[in-house]
Structure 1
């Protein structure tokens, strides 16, 4: 990792990669995950699936 990249990640300016979703836990929620391409930090969040009847 370059020195500039380290500095940017330290101040919170990450380069987030592609968003990936998993639906292992329940049929109505999705767990999303993204990783920083420079430092490898992960962020995860859970969202409800959209209603298919609409």
Structure 2
């Protein structure tokens, strides 16, 4: 990793990759995950699935 990339990640300017979703915990929620391509930091969040009947 370059020095500039390290500095950018330290101040919070990450380069997030593709977001990936997992729905194995419940039938109505998705757990999303993204990883920074420079430093490897992960960010995770949970969202409710959209209603399919609409």
User: TM-score normalized by structure 2?
Assistant: 0.99
Gaps of 5+ in 1: none
Would you say how many aligned residue pairs link Structure 1 and Structure 2? Answer: 54
Q: Which of structure 1's runs of 4+ aligned residues deviate more than 2 A? A: none
Deviation at 1:15, TM superposition (A): 0.1
Partners of 1:11 and 1:27 in 2: CA distance: 37
- Structure 1 vs Structure 2 CA RMSD: 0.2
Gaps of 5+ in 2: none
Deviation at 1:44, TM superposition (A): 0.1
Partners of 2:3 and 2:43 in 1: CA distance: 23
Partners of 1:35 and 1:24 in 2: CA distance: 20
User: TM-score normalized by structure 1?
Assistant: 0.99
